[in-house]
Each structure stands twice: as structure tokens, then as C-alpha cells.
Amino acid sequence: MTTPTEHLVSVDGSDVRFACAEGDTLLRAALRAGVGLGYECNSGSCGSCRYDLLAGEMHDRRPDAPGLSPRDRRKGRRLACQSEPRTDCLVKVGPIAPVATHRPVRQTAELRSITPLTHDMQEFVFAAEKHAGFRPGQYAMITLPDGNVERAYSMSNLGNCYGEWKFVVKRVPDGHATSILFDKLEVGASVELDGPYGHAYLRDKENQSIVCVGGGSGLGAMISIVLGAAALPGAGAWTVHLFCGGRTARDIHVPESLVRAGRRLGMLQVHTALSDVGETEDDTAYRGFLHEAVVERLAGSLTDFTYYAAGPPAMTDALMRALVLDSGLDADRLYFDRFC
Ligand SMILES: Cc1cc2nc3c(=O)[nH]c(=O)nc-3n(C[C@H](O)[C@H](O)[C@H](O)COP(=O)(O)OP(=O)(O)OC[C@H]3O[C@@H](n4cnc5c(N)ncnc54)[C@H](O)[C@@H]3O)c2cc1C
Ligand code: FES
């Protein structure tokens, strides 16, 4: 049964059916119903949510989304993260998995504080109506009031029952959303927060030797993962290497909360990698790219770890090549959601 403002989506070749509220996307409605369609970025860029529309009408939120190639468009393929059903629909999708984390919820949240971390990174803390249900390393979609711009941001804290959502955001020069966040949004402003999303969350029952790699904008997700490991009952058995990257020392921020987390973990080692070859006062920093730092610093034990990574696609792609293609790490020991 659907209400007049919902449309029924049926999945071809199966008995899977779910309701999609008017204005919601095919992908998010599926996840809210516990139907795990494939996806990564939720923003129209990675292409991992492609599907075929067999019957019904869809509105395309972002007709020029880079996630579809010209060949996909010729074949009539679509992106579930950008498709809003306008009628009941029949769709053909890839493999469906159960949703292993909290189901995403849309809610209003109020901006409570803004804290500068570096010259171009700030922490934004929001208070939402309901509890903050998410796993360390996941992200939420934030719709900003000014211009209705929506972007993905990873939580930098842990899920909690008092509705607190923290994000570390890096300013993008002339970026649409970050200009609003950094220059216009004031404490007390309301945003729409929709989440959690993402597959690159801490697997607390797997390998207790982990490496977290956060390039620039990826720092928040990695803070959350380190805090998540430190909050586990057996935290003393965990070995964690955290790699943070930037161009120069002024791009790096290591929050105080990580120092406290380090006291609970068996071992926490923080490495920094600086890609600009100029002078630096930080003698311990690796000079080069993040993926090179990981390979050099963990040489000999690279394949002992499970990896979590977040940051620009150039960084996660280079890391995947270095670890999986060049060093023989099993691809299922590297978790990341592309920030594209
Ligand atoms: C899974 C994920 C997690 C992320 N986590 C973080 C984080 O924790 N911290 C952080 O600083 N950044 C994060 N990002 C990046 C963030 O979502 C923004 O891309 C970034 O802040 C720049 O946004 P902007 O609007 O300022 O820049 P712009 O250059 O204006 O836009 C940036 C990107 O937004 C996309 N975009 C353009 N139009 C649309 C549209 N209509 N709908 C949706 N997307 C559109 C484009 O692909 C473009 O690459 C994450 C991205 C993803 C995908
Ligand atoms: S394009 Fe839809 S999830 Fe990335």
C-alpha cells in the first residue's frame, strides 16, 4: 500500500517492492526500506548506482551527472541516486544486498558550532531532532538552506543518542556548498540532514590491525574510525596507523580527541605526509604522497592490515593501485567511498 504522495517501485525478476516518497530518490527510498542497491557517492559522480527503467516515469535530478558515460546514455541507463520516481515504476538493478547499517533518515538539524581547524578546514557541529545513528566512517547528505545545494559529508564523531553530528569540511575554492558553509551559514541555521550512507565503515569484528588514510577532506571519516576502534570493549588489542596528508604542514590537523583515543588503543601511530618539497619544521613528516608514505612506512607488513581510506579520488585510486595491484592486498581488505 502506498499513500497518494508515494510511488511503488518494483524490481524486475524478483518480488522486491518498496515505496518511494514524492521527491525522494530511487536509491535512498530503497535503502530506507532495507533494500541494498549498489552505490558509493550518492552524488551522481561515481556511476556505481546505474540501473535500467523498464516502466514508469522518472525525474532526473542531475541530467548532466558525470556518473553516466555517453555510451550509458545511448543505452538509456540511469543513476538511482539522481532518479525521483514520478509514477509507480519497474526497474532492473544489479545485485541487491541487505542494508547492514542503520537505515537512512531525513531530519532537520541546527548548526550548533563552527570551529576553525586549519587555514581551510573547519569543524561543523549540528544537533538533529532524532538520535544520530551511524557507524564510524559513514557519511550524510546535507542540504544547505541557501540555494538548496546538497553535498555529502562524513561524520567525524561517533553515533550517539543525543542527535549530535560532527563534520570536518575542507573549503574548495569557489565551491558552491563550501562557500555557503564557510561564508554564509551562521550558528542557529537549519539544514536538512539525511543519513547515514556509505560502506567504508569500521568492521569491528574483523582485523584488529588497521590503517586509516585520510587525505585533506577525508580527515573527518578517519577520525571517526579511530574513535570507533578506541571505543570498543577490546580496544587494547587494536593496532592503528593513521596517515594524514596535505601539501604543507599548515594543511595538517590532528585533533586532541585522537590523543585520548591513543591511550585506549593498543597502539596508535599518526603519520603525516607532505607533498610539497619545500622547507618544513616537521622532521617526522614523510615527504611525498600519502600512498607512498603508507607503502614506505609499512614496508614488509603491508598485507597484515585492513585499510580504510577517505579523500579525493586521485588519492584513493593511487592507494588502491599501490596496495592491491602492486603489493597483492586482497581488494576486500580496502574500504573507501569515492569522494567524487
Ligand atoms: C561520500 C562522500 C563523502 C564526503 N565527505 C567529505 C568530508 O567529510 N569533508 C569534505 O570536506 N568533503 C567531503 N566530500 C566532498 C563534498 O561532498 C563536496 O564535494 C565538497 O565539499 C566540495 O563541494 P562544493 O560544492 O564546495 O564544490 P563544487 O566544486 O561546487 O562541487 C563539488 C562536487 O559536487 C558535485 N556536484 C555538482 N553539482 C551537483 C549536484 N547538483 N548534486 C550533487 N553533487 C553535485 C560535483 O561532482 C563536484 O565534484 C565528500 C564527498 C563524498 C562523495
Ligand atoms: S553516481 Fe550514484 S552512487 Fe555514485
Q: What is the pLDDT of residues 302-327, one digit of tens each?
A: 999 999 999 999 999 999 999 999 99
SS3 letters for the chain?
Answer: CCCCCEEEEEECCCCCEEEEECCCCHHHHHHHCCEECCCCCCCCCCCCCEEEEEECCEEECCCCCCCCCHHHHHCCCEEHHHEEECCCEEEECCCCEECCCCCCEEEEEEEEEEEECCCCEEEEEEEECCCECCCCCCEEEEECCCCCCEEEEEECCCCECCCEEEEEEECCCCCHHHHHHHHCCCCCCEEEEEEEECCCCCCCCCCCEEEEEEEHHHHHHHHHHHHHHHCCCCHHHCEEEEEEEECCHHHCCCCHHHHHHHHHCCEEEEEEEECCCCCCCCCCCEECCHHHHHHHHCCCCHHHCEEEEECCHHHHHHHHHHHHHCCCCCHHHEEECCCC
42 Cβ contact list (under 8 Å, min separation 6): 27, 28, 81, 139, 141, 152, 197
Q: Whose CA is nearest to atom 1 of ligand 2?
A: 44
What's the 83 CA to ligand 2 centre distance in angstroms? 11
Q: Which amino acid is at 329?
A: L
Residue ranges around ligand 2 (CB below 6 Å): 39-42, 44-49, 67, 79, 81
State which of 125, 339, 340 you would mutate to test the pocket of ligand 1, scoring each by most atoms of that ligand within 8 A of its C-beta. Answer: 339
What's the 153 CA to ligand 1 centre distance in angstroms? 8
Give ranges for CATH 3.10.20.30 in the chain.
Answer: 6-98
Cis peptide before 196 (omega within 30 of 0): yes
From CA 85, how far away is CA 194, in angstroms rounded? 18
φ and ψ at residue 153, rounded to 5 degrees: -140, 140
**Given this model, what pLDDT does residue 98 score?**
85
Q: Is 41 in the pocket of ligand 1 (CB under 6 A)?
A: yes
What's the 29 CA to ligand 2 centre distance in angstroms? 14
Proximal ligand: closest to the CA of 39: 2
Contact 16, 92 (CB under 8 A): no
Proximal ligand: closest to the CA of 27: 2
Q: Is 306 in the pocket of ligand 1 (CB under 6 A)?
A: no
From CA 95, how far away is CA 97, in angstroms rounded? 7
Q: What is the pLDDT of residues 59-89, one digit of tens each?
A: 999 999 999 999 999 999 999 999 999 999 9
- Is residue 279 scored above 90 in pLDDT? no
φ and ψ at residue 21, rounded to 5 degrees: -70, 145
What's the 298 CA to ligand 1 centre distance in angstroms? 31
Q: Measured from the CA of 45, which atom of ligand 2 is nearest?
A: 1
Grid cell, residue 181, equals 558553509
Give ranges for CATH 3.40.50.80 in the chain.
Answer: 209-335
Residue 1: which pLDDT band, with cuts at 50, 70 and 90?
A: low
Q: Measured from the CA of 181, which atom of ligand 1 is nearest?
A: 26
Q: Is 63 in the pocket of ligand 1 (CB under 6 A)?
A: no
Q: Whose CA is nearest to atom 13 of ligand 1?
A: 153
Specify the pTM: 0.96
**Given this model, what pLDDT does residue 281 score?**
67
In percent, the amount of the chain with pLDDT more than 70 equals 98
Decide yes or no: CATH 3.40.50.2300 for domain 6-98.
no
What's the 277 CA to ligand 2 centre distance in angstroms? 36
Q: Measured from the CA of 340, which atom of ligand 2 is nearest?
A: 4
Give ranges for CATH 2.40.30.10 in the chain.
Answer: 105-197
Proximal ligand: closest to the CA of 37: 2
Residue 221: which pLDDT band, with cuts at 50, 70 and 90?
A: very high
What's the 8 CA to ligand 1 centre distance in angstroms? 30
Q: What is the pLDDT of residues 130-161, one digit of tens each?
A: 889 999 999 999 999 876 899 999 999 999 99
Strand bridging mode 150-154 / 139-143: antiparallel
Q: Is 45 in the pocket of ligand 1 (CB under 6 A)?
A: yes
What's the 40 CA to ligand 2 centre distance in angstroms? 6
CA proximity to 219, closest of 170, 152, 292: 170
**Given this model, what pLDDT does residue 2 score?**
56
Decide yes or no: CATH 2.40.30.10 for domain 105-197.
yes
CA proximity to 19, closest of 85, 91, 82: 85
Residue 4: which pLDDT band, with cuts at 50, 70 and 90?
A: low
Contact 94, 38 (CB under 8 A): yes
What's the 298 CA to ligand 2 centre distance in angstroms? 32
What's the 49 CA to ligand 2 centre distance in angstroms? 5
**Given this model, what pLDDT does residue 339 score?**
87
CATH topology for 209-335?
Rossmann fold (3.40.50)
Q: Which amino acid is at 134?
A: F
Mean pLDDT over all residues of the chain?
95
